[in-house]
Structure 1
Amino acid sequence: MFSLRTLTASCALGLLWISSVNAAETFQINVAAQGEAKRALPLQVDVAVPKNFADVALVELTTDSGDKLYGQLTKPGLGNPSTDPLARELHLVLPSAMVGPEREFAVSIPESKEGLTEFHFKDEAGKHKDLMFGDRPVLRYMYEAVDSSSEDRRHETMKVYHHLFDPKGENLLTKGPGGLFQHHRGIFYGFNRISYEQDGKKKSADVWHCHKKESQTHEAFVREEAGPVMARQILEINWNGQDGKTFATELREMTVYHVDGAQVIDFASKLTAKADNLKVDGDPQHAGFQYRATQHVPDKTAKQTYYVRPDGKGEPGKFRNWPGNKEHIDLEFNALSFVAFDQRYTCCYLDSPENPKPARFSERDYGRFGSYFATEIPQDKPLELNYRLWLQPGEMDVADVKQLRDDFVDPPKVSVEAG
């Protein structure tokens, strides 16, 4: 997840600015009541840790009744301006069985982590890097350098994106190159109508199709952190124009929580202009933050696809697009229900109120959906975004998806006290 700048922003975006803990040996957190709905609940708490926690990643959280779960300390994520060397994010996931009344947890350093299953990264150098949970693949970052040896190879490597595996790690539930609309890939962020000024010239770019030799290129793995609760990958990505020159640089943060039976991904981005008068724009099908399901869907099951929106469940095979459907705008959430490899899945797309608006939404029965906006990006004010994807097997109704969205943007309040 992302970090916050003000208390107001933290409430709106689902994060919690916590007053610093004094330099004590231990500390505790108090989680407000979480309501009656039973669901796993990922939480992030910004905290200044005691000095003896400075080099600690794994912590143990214990209630008065002796219930235990693990938490994970990370460095602050994107958007957190803290310069405190003891600033950390504490990540935990309340399992559905613990969700309900107010909870108080004592935070301590565990004696051992023997037997714990953890996230870790597995790299096929120069090709892709997998995020694993134990021996189960979860997420795959496709980052191969642009190969211009042939048009086919350039199409395969012209932009970076993430693949998502099913919760069992058996099949990819996202699409790569080729298939129906080869430019639609996995979990992707970009725009097809970009304008800017560089070298005294007005220029345009399309990093969605990359028809005129535009590209998104991987530049660096900025930071990676992994443990039993979550994993985070921060990437540096250049957005390059038709002439190959970089007009914007992105820090893209993918935070993945371990939730039994589901895939939970927080996407955060900070896009910094490297050219003058940069404006990103597009159309509903080829811009913004989008998810594209596996090619299995258009090949075999598209007519079984339906969407769950704030106004109800849609009909199988039917879909909406702005501007044809003018009300298809500024949705708090949208959810794609699709069938792949003999299993139905629901992928929830949860928007933040802090992302630029209006957000224009798009859907297709073959499993591509998301939203885009148009905005200018001054060089001294990067564009910051935050979304959550929640994917799980089976069907979900409006109340289910709305609960997940509420958890994302307005989670239970958490306070921190010195031990």
Structure 2
Amino acid sequence: MKPTALILLALALNATAFDITVEEKNRVDVSNGGKVVARLMMANDLSTPEKHHETYKPYLHVFDASGATRLTKGPGFNFTHHRGIFLGFSKISYGGKSYDRWHMKGGDQVVTKITPGDSSFTASINWQGDTSEPFLTEERRLTFTTPAKPFYLGIDMTSAIKTVSGEAEMSGDPEHAGAQFRPSELVDIKTTTYIFPGENIDAHKAKDLPWAAEVFTVEGKTFTVVILNHPDNPKDTATSAYRDYGRFGMFPKGKATAEAPFKLHYQWLVAEGDVRDASVFQQAWNAFAGKNEPVPVLTIKGSEQPKPKKEK
């Protein structure tokens, strides 16, 4: 049996059924052994400006294995639009106009339907234009697994974004677009560390990295999260992984039409503790991608603070 097949078999043997509980127009809880390990926040409350601000986009919270510690950030605090695991683009060209569905200026991402599955669910999402009517529609499927150790949670996301008509160009920049993970507002910014496959990797310049990992500390507990970039994703994908507050992820660009969706596929693996094992990360990616690539050397880097903005 080939190594990749062995890895896939090991992952299958470690599979656990997750319970999916839908609270209509509010949230979806994902539980393992009675413990909530992930939660989709999907309310869209227009009753007050404050409530609207809190609920203008869906995002996925992640918890530790006990369900007691929230690893991810919600609204408010530094960069309020950074929320859990989320997807957005700051520059979407459509119909001669430009839309920002990262900072959520002038329109929301609204979940219209949840379809539960086996340890998974699919969220149907309207990306609003200038009005409450959508110019994009998305089918975002989230599947939850118990991966091989040291990881306790796997989150697989596939996304297909279509236009209602015509063509849209999805773009932005590595810090303001793509599929992202944002740690809690309680993250210890002094200890955030990033790990990349390869020697002397510069996340500001590298393209099409198969994976990137982050080690961070929240409420005195250390966690490792790795994002796996599927080889079918758009080429020339940038990796944003350097900030001290821990927001990191992948930034692809591409086009969407009603007939040809803009498709993305990522997976996040979450471990408690500090994981810096190249073989663990590479084996996870090989299983995800159906490849048998060798274990790389690692580039391990401390975080950066954002450069201060110049006063006008």
Q: TM-score range by the shorter chain?
A: 0.7 to 0.9
Runs of 4+ more than 6 Å apart:
35-40
Structure 1, residues 295-338: CA drift from partner, whole Å, max 9, x if none? 111xxx11111111012599xxxxx653xxx2x22111100111
Structure 2 equivalent of residue 193 of structure 1:
91
Which of 22, 39, 43 matches 1:123?
22
Aligned residues: 288
Amino acid at match of 2:139: L
Question: In structure 1, what is the equivalent of residue 304 of structure 2?
Answer: none
The share of aligned pairs that are identical, in percent, is 33
1:217 and 2:105 are equivalent in the alignment? no
Secondary structure at the aligned position of 1:302 is classed as coil
Q: Evaluate the alpha carbon distance shift between residue 254 and residue 195 of structure 1 in structure 2; reply closer, same or farther with a 3 A threshold.
A: same
Please say which structure displays the higher CA radius of gyration. 1
Instruction: Tell me if structure 2 keeps the 8 A contact 1:232–1:254.
Output: yes
- Code of the residue aligned with 1:346 in structure 2: it is T
- Displacement of 1:33: 4.0
Conserved? CA contact 2:14–2:146, under 8 Å: no
Distance 2:103 2:287 in 1: 34
Alignment of 1:215-294 (within 5 A): 215-222=108-115, 224-226=116-118, 231-259=119-147, 262-294=152-184
SS of aligned partner of 1:140: strand
Aligned-pair Cα RMSD in Å? 2.4
- Structure 2 residue 303 is matched with structure 1 residue 405: no
Unaligned stretches of 5+ in structure 2?
A: 293-312
CA distance in 2, matches of 1:411, 1:257: 20
Distance in 2, matches of 1:208 and 1:293, equals 17
Offset of 1:382 from its aligned partner?
0.9
Task: Give the 3 Å change call, closer, same or farther, for CA 204–304 of structure 1 in structure 2.
Answer: same
Q: In the alignment, residue 290 of structure 2 is paired with which amino acid?
A: D
Structure 1 stretches lacking a partner, 5+ long: 1-31, 43-91, 96-116, 315-319, 413-419
Q: 1:154, CA displacement in angstroms?
A: 1.4
Q: What's the CA shift for 1:246?
A: 0.6
Whether the 8 Å contact between 1:137 and 1:165 is mirrored in structure 2 is yes
In the alignment, structure 1 residue 140 sits paired with structure 2 residue 39: yes
Aligned-pair distance for 1:397? 2.4
TM-score (norm 1): 0.64
Aligned AA (1:410): G
Between 162-171 and 259-268, report the one with greater CA deviation: 259-268
How far off is 1:149 after superposition? 3.2
| Residues 133/154 of structure 1: CA separation in 2 closer, same or farther (3 Å cut) | same
SS at match of 1:304: coil
Rounded Cα–Cα distance in structure 2 between residues aligned with 1:125 and 1:264 = 24
Using the alignment, how far apart are the partners of 1:38 and 1:338 within structure 2?
A: 27
Letter aligned with residue 117 of structure 2: E
Output the CA distance in 1 between the equivalents of 2:195 and 2:6: 19
2:276 equivalent to 1:307 = no
Q: Which of the numbers 247, 252, 255 marks the counterpart of 1:373? A: 252
**Conserved? CA contact 1:188–1:290, under 8 Å:** yes
Is this contact kept in 2: 1:293–1:368, CA < 8 A? yes
What is the letter of the counterpart of residue 153 of structure 1? K
